[in-house]
Amino acid sequence: MDLRLLSYFLAVFDAGSISAAARELHIGQPSLSRQIRNLERSLGVSLFTAGPKASATPAAIAFAPIARDLMARAEQAEATIKSMDHNEAIRLTIAGPPTTVADVIAPFIAQSGAQGLLANIREVLPNAIYRELAQYRADLVVGTSPPPAHLEYIVIGYSPILAQLPEDKKNVKKREITLAEVATYPIAIVDDNHNVRRLFDQAISEAGLSVQIAFETQSTQASQALAAANRAVCISSDDPRFNLHPLFITIPGRKNPLSITLFCAWDPGHFAAEQIKATALFLHQFYETQRLVTTV
């Protein structure tokens, strides 16, 4: 199938009209219309209705994700050939939640040196992480929920969910706090777009406790600022800010404190799957080393 025709189809589909697509592509409208008709003849279906707006038909709506997949795979194939023929270094894009990017991924890239393969980062909300792979916007992702079954993954580590509060004589020497104790404080925590909130709510529910969510925020920095102002206890997996004192949250019957599992996942059919897996293993080693240093 002619990839050029696919790109023209997607341009019209996304722009909503042949005239708008022609302007974006910098080609004449009659020429673009002929190319779309050629594609329709080769497929044996009508993709757009007649008229200036050229509304997408049901066939076009069904064909669009197939066309995007074909284009993405063609780009992958081209990148593979380039790396083989010219011995170019593979450059990978990784996606992760903002907290993981700041505390794990960016420090890992900085330490990897000139030989590291990660060259770009996309910050994405946790509930949208795996769509980055499905839509070919990232080569590997770090998520906080189990990956879909078709993906390959490793667990790179566990990020503790901390109770963060100002230092005082009562807590300055403490390293832990029970979940029941946490429940006695007003809480500042992110909304349920974040796995920290979902896991905290689940732990509270399983323990049969109730808690006062005094502040529901869209950013951990806001929760930490409220804790620093002595208005609540911040519940977060971020590194502490504003001189807050972090405490591990312990739960009776559990060996380990409350934490988030970090999964590194990728498509096993990716042309650089071997290099991606090696990078994921290096990321795991880096995270474990970093965790040991920060807990000593």
Q: Whole-angstrom Cα distance, residue 72 to residue 52?
A: 29
What tokens appear for 20 in the block?
A: 């708008």
Task: Please report the domains of the chain, with CATH numbers, ordered by start residue.
Answer: 3-85 (1.10.10.10), 92-158+260-295 (3.40.190.10), 162-257 (3.40.190.290)
* Alpha-carbon dihedral sign for residues 265, 130, 197, 220: positive
* pLDDT per residue as tens digits for the range 281-290: 999 999 888 7
Has residue 89 got a pLDDT over 70? no
Taking alpha carbons only, the member of 176, 189, 194, 183 closest to residue 249 is 176
More confident residue, 271 or 261: 261
Has residue 82 got a pLDDT over 50? yes
Tell me the residue type at 83: S
Name the CA dihedral angle for 35, 36, 41, 42, rounded to a multiple of 10 degrees.
80
More confident residue, 3 or 231: 231
Residues contacting residue 193 through CB under 8 Å, at least 6 positions apart: 125, 126, 127
- The answer to whether 105 touches 131, Cβ cutoff 8 Å, is no
- For the segment 84-98, the average pLDDT, to the nearest whole number, is 75
Q: Whole-angstrom Cα distance, residue 157 to residue 264?
A: 9
More confident residue, 184 or 82: 184
